[in-house]
Structure 1
Amino acid sequence: MSLRTGSFPAVALAVAGLLLTGCAGDTGKVAPAAANVSPSASAVGRSGPGSHSGPEALAGRAREIPSLGPGIRAEITPASRQAVVVVGQGPDSNRSVAVLYERDPVLGWRPVTGAWPAHNGLLGWTDDHEAGDRRSPIGVFGLTDAGGRLPNPGTKLPYDEGPDFDAPGTGFEGEPLEGSFDHVVAINYNREPGTTPLDWTRPLGADKGGGIWIHVDHGGPTQGCISLPLERMEQLLRWLDPAKRPVVVMGDAAALGE
């Protein structure tokens, strides 16, 4: 389904639901890999796309994303060539880092950014997300749809712009939520891909939560979303390419290493 700016009707009930069960209720140009890449990211090297030199290529060994174990790696389909890897500091921590990776057909995965600071759910992570648990779901999820209160900054994803991307109130630490939904990318957890992020369809049922997005950071933990600084959100949106079947890989370090 093709989404176009302004093509979706106002969905006040959906926004109200997001404020109750979504992450913020209580709540291009990508920099090349450089010296600020985290140790795990730099371990996979910095060769540019199409560069097939180096010992890894000669040995016929495609590089993997170093922070991921075999179980999580198996969830990333061969068709996916972009991955937003969000690694939490701990199972109960609401702080994490995000690194963008691209898959070269010969060399394998390589980081294209350094480590970006991020927030996740107030109480950390879970592999059995429930509505209102204030934890972010662990796993690999598609990224197919975007939107926000501000105009499209240049993403190739379908982008739904409108005033319904509103975030009133304050977060868990008393910080204002205003602007949190200026740009969002819907995480395909318990939602219908190919619809506006405001769509309220929940295939797994309402009890399993939903409205899990990557959105603009408001300076504190979320209800279950991932949040990035505004500049990073704009970079992310410009980088994401639906032709490369982007995914987000998210969880605490121990869970992702399994």
Structure 2
Amino acid sequence: MTAPRPHRLRPGQILSHLVLLVLGFLFLFPFYVMVLTSLRSPAELFTPTFRWLPAQFVGLQYYIQALTEVPTLTFLKNGAIIAGGILIVQVLTAIPCAYALAKFEFRGRDTLFAVVLFSLTVPIQAPALPLYLGLNAIGALDTYFAAMAPFFLSVFAIFLFRQTFRSFPDEIIQAARIDGMSEWGILWTIVVPGSFPAIAAFAVFSVTTHWNDLYWPLIVLRSNDLMTPPLGLAYFADSESGANYGALMATSVLLSAPLLVGFLLAQRQFIRGITMTGVK
């Protein structure tokens, strides 16, 4: 019995790995600098030479400042409420729309899908003024609802789920119909569980986008108790004395940590969900 030959990487594979390593370093380097800045003394911030490790660790001081001098936990709570609320409504509204576009035959279906594709090109800045005036007219400014309402219907989610539902076997759906199941029952008990990776992938996109959103909360939120994580970072910016970079970076680490943990937990489903949308 001969021993198996060791696997050797071909030159093309070695080059691909090197390119991925370089790109990974470029993407991760800003996060490394953020963590590094939150651990070293102010005297090291503007030195002409870059050090990979701080000469003096003072990070605990900055993290204490981030947790005591500003309501960082309130920012985290607001970010979770707004991003989570948006995600729940987006999923509940997009799934039925996508299922109808993927599995039902009706007049105007292609036109509706074309409208969905066109809507993907419209940025939030375009309808911002009418939305602001409408929310102001009903007295909804400076509320969680104002921060969430413009994003309740996600055309990107409709497009993503529609592509996923198209690859779901029609035979299973027809068999469920013959057994007497309603369309709602088929959708929520058969199709949705089978499409969970795509839903998880969209959840990563949605939560990341609205957790980091600065533009819309800056317009509609005024109370400190409702500020989201990006708005909270402004606490350490002072036009007279300058920003406290150590505390600012420490706060950034704390506010970025939930997203990092969430992505690490969902990365397998995220990759599966992205690949599923390319089938059929």
Alignment TM-score, normalising by the size of structure 1: 0.28
- More strand per residue: 1
Rg comparison, structure with higher value: 2
- More helix per residue: 2
Alignment TM-score, normalising by the size of structure 2: 0.27
